[in-house]
């Protein structure tokens, strides 16, 4: 019963996204199954750290990455924190656990020139899908919103008079993001073709498939990957790379870190600072080029 109560707590009180809750539930069930089979015990409330450590060793032997293992353990840690908070246990078995070391992924942003090429040099079809796909690229790069946030956009979220859009972020936190003037024409063209779809099922949603349903994550990924692949040989060409490029390009142009934080919908500056490595590279380049001592 405690696992069900924890899942309900994540959904209703913490207001985690549905896919996040599903991931937590799966991680806990995976451990529970291992615990029952390996130690012939039913109640994971009474587990010890040594038993959890056995699971970690098992996952390593299965070839699971340290990053994935850390995520699974983080799910367990949250579960035991919940049990502590609800006074179902008196001590968390993961109180002194240290996460496994992982190498940090360095996301290389799409360059400003590459973004110019994909938005200006590539010819998109003038039908519904062509106009929608170009607008997907424009919106993600011009606003820095997440893929899930883009999919969730509704017609009522747009305020064309003020040139803003209301975005529902993580944990149902709303923020207002400005719309660049360059978005006005592609939005107008898209909405005109959207209105002529034969069938519209999910009418409230802004972005639709050609069958009139709301977008789904793999479709957005395929669209972004397809067009970025035409102009860039970088390994990662996902919607998140456009968010990364948005933040990096703003910082390169001198935008205030706090302003970028608000635009991205981050709760702390620490989350935004991961995007600064590229801007620091630009600063180093400018410093090396301009400093008098470098010319001696």
Q: Which residues are catalytic?
A: 146, 170, 240, 243, 266, 275
The 3-class secondary structure across 110-161, one letter per residue, is: CCHHHHHHHHHHCCCCCCHHHHHHHHHHHHHHHHCCCHHHHHHCEHHHEECC
**How many Å from the N-terminal Cα to the C-terminal Cα in the chain?**
73
How far from chain centre, in Å, is Cα 71?
A: 15
**Residues across the chain:** 296
Region of 292 (left: φ > 0; alpha: ψ -120 to 50; beta: rest) is: alpha
The answer to whether the beta carbons of residues 137 and 119 sit under 8 Å apart is yes
Rounded CA separation 109/97 (Å): 34
Closest by CA to 3, choosing from 17, 19, 18, 24, is 24
Closest by CA to 202, choosing from 192, 213, 210, 218, is 213
Rounded CA separation 245/214 (Å): 26
Structure tokens given for 36: 């029952």
Q: Where are the alpha helices (DSSP H) in 9-65?
A: 18-39, 49-61
Closest by CA to 220, choosing from 157, 162, 135, is 135
């Amino acid at each position: 019963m405690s696992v069900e109560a924890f899942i309900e707590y994540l959904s209703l009180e913490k207001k985690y996204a549905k896919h996040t809750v599903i991931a937590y539930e799966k991680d806990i069930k995976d451990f529970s199954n291992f615990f029952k089979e390996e130690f012939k015990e039913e109640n994971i409330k009474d587990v010890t750290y040594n038993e959890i450590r056995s699971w970690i060793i098992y996952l390593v032997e299965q070839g699971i990455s340290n990053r994935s293992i850390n995520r699974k353990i983080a799910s367990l840690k949250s579960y035991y924190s919940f049990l502590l908070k609800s006074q179902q246990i008196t001590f968390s078995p993961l109180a002194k656990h240290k996460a496994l070391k992982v190498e940090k992924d360095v996301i290389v942003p799409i360059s400003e020139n590459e973004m110019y090429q994909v938005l200006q040099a590539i010819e998109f079809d003038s039908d519904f899908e062509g106009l929608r796909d170009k607008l997907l690229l424009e919106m993600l790069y011009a606003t820095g919103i997440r893929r899930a946030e883009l999919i969730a956009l509704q017609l009522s979220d747009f305020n064309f008079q003020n040139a803003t859009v209301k975005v529902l972020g993580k944990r149902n936190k709303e923020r207002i993001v400005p719309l660049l003037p360059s978005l006005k024409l592609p939005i107008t063209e898209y909405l005109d073709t959207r209105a002529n779809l034969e069938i519209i099922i999910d009418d409230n949603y802004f972005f639709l498939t050609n069958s009139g349903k709301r977008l789904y994550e793999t479709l957005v990924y395929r669209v972004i990957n397809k067009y970025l692949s035409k102009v860039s040989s970088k390994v990662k060409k996902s919607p998140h790379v456009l968010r990364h490029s948005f933040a990096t390009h703003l910082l390169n142009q001198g935008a205030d870190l706090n302003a970028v934080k608000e635009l991205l919908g981050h709760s702390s500056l620490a989350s935004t600072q991961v995007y600064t490595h590229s801007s620091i590279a630009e600063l180093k380049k400018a410093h090396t080029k301009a400093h008098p001592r470098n010319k001696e």
